[in-house]
Structure 1
Amino acid sequence: MFLKLIGSFLIIVATTFMGFYISWIFSEKVKQIRDIQFALNQLESEIIYSSEPLYIAFNKVGNKFNGPLRNLFMDISEELREHRMDTIYDTFIDCYDKTKDKFYFDEEEIEVIKNFIQGIGSSDFEGQKKNFNIAIKKLEDIEKKVDAKRKSNDKLIKYLGFSFGVVIVVMLF
C-alpha cells in the first residue's frame, strides 16, 4: 500500500512537472521572439548607422546575448568572416540548423527571419531600413499572438498536467 502511495505521488509530480515545463516553453518562446526583435534593432544600428561589415555587426550583437541567440549570431559572424558560404542566407541556414533544437520557433517565425536575411545587403540604405522595419513589425505581430496564446493557456496547461497525473493514478487503482 505504501509503495502504491509513493508511486501515485511520483506520477502526479511527474505529470505536473510536464505541465509546468510545457508552460515554460511558451514563456521561453515569447522571450526568444523578443530577443530576436531586439537583436534585429541592434543589428540595424550596427549595419546601417555604424556601417560595420556584416561579420563584425553579427559579432557585436551576438556578444549582447546569452544562450542560443548568442551562439547563432557568433556562428554566423565566424562563417561570414571565414567566407565559408556563398551568401548570407546560406550561412544563416547552416548556422541555424546547428542550433535550431535550442530555439522554440515555429515555421512562421523562421520564414520571417529567412526573408529578412535574404534582404540583407541586396538593396540601398532605404531598402535596408525597410527590410529591418518589416521584419521587426512581423515579429512584433507574431509575439503578440504567441503571448496571448501563452496567457490564455498557461494555467490550463499546468492544471492539465496535474489532472492527467490524477487520472493515471485513478486508472491504475
Structure 2
Amino acid sequence: MKLLGIVLVIFSTSSLGYLFALKYKMRRWILKSMISSLNLFKIEITYSKAPLGEILMAISRSSDKSIKFVFSKTGMILSQNEGYTAGEAWEIALKEWDNGYLKKEDVEILRSFGYGLGNSDVYNQEKNFDLAIELLKRQLSNAEEESKKNEKLYKNIGVLAGLAIIILFL
C-alpha cells in the first residue's frame, strides 16, 4: 500500500511540473504558428485579389489548430457583411480567443497588427505584416530563452517535490 502511495505522489507532482512546463512549450508553438500564418496571410494579401474574408478563411484552414480560431472568426465576421472593419473583426476574434499561453505583450502585438489590417494600400499592408512578424520573432526568441530556463526547472521541481513529500511521510 505504501508503494502505491509513493508512486501516486511521485506521479502527481511530476505531472504538475510537466503541466507548468507545457505552458512555455505551448507559447513557443503558438508564436511559431502565428508567424507562419502571418507570412502566408501577407503573401495572400499581396498577390491575391480575393476578398479579405475569403483569404482569412483559407488561412484558417491551413493554420495550426491553436491559432485557427482567430483567422476563422475574423473571416466569418467579415463575410457576414455586418459593417465591421477588418481591424474591428480582428479585435473581436482576439477577445474571444481563449488562450492562456500567450503573454500580454504577445497579444498586444497581435492587437496592434489588427489596427492596420485593411486600412491602407498593399505596400503599407506589407509593412504592417513585416512589423508584426518581426515583433513576434523577438517574442519567440524571448520565449525560447524563458523556456530553456524554466521548462527543466518546473519538471525537476515536480519530481523533487514528490520526493520531499515522500520523505516527510516516511
TM-score by length of 1: 0.89
Question: Number of residues paired by the alignment?
Answer: 170
CA distance in 2, matches of 1:10, 1:85: 56
User: 8 Å contact 2:33–2:64 — kept in the other structure?
Assistant: no
Structure 1: gaps spanning 5 or more residues: none
**Partner of residue 28, structure 1:** 26
Structure 2: gaps spanning 5 or more residues: none
User: What aligned pairs does 1:5-154 form with structure 2 within 5 A after superposition?
Assistant: 5-84=3-82, 86-101=84-99, 104-154=101-151
CA distance in 2, matches of 1:127, 1:27: 33
1:85 positional shift: 5.6
CA distance in 1, matches of 2:65, 2:8: 31
CA distance in 1, matches of 2:96, 2:167: 43
CA distance in 1, matches of 2:82, 2:34: 24
1:99 positional shift: 2.7
CA distance in 1, matches of 2:139, 2:59: 22
Output the amino acid matched with 1:137.
E
- Superposition RMSD on alpha carbons, in Å? 1.7
Write out per-residue CA displacement over residues 18-60 of structure 1, whole angstroms, 9 at most, x where no aligned residue: 1122222211210110110011111111112213221011011
TM-score by length of 2: 0.91
Moved more, 65-74 or 33-42: 65-74
User: 8 Å contact 1:47–1:53 — kept in the other structure?
Assistant: no
Identity of matched residues, %: 24
User: 8 Å contact 1:68–1:99 — kept in the other structure?
Assistant: no
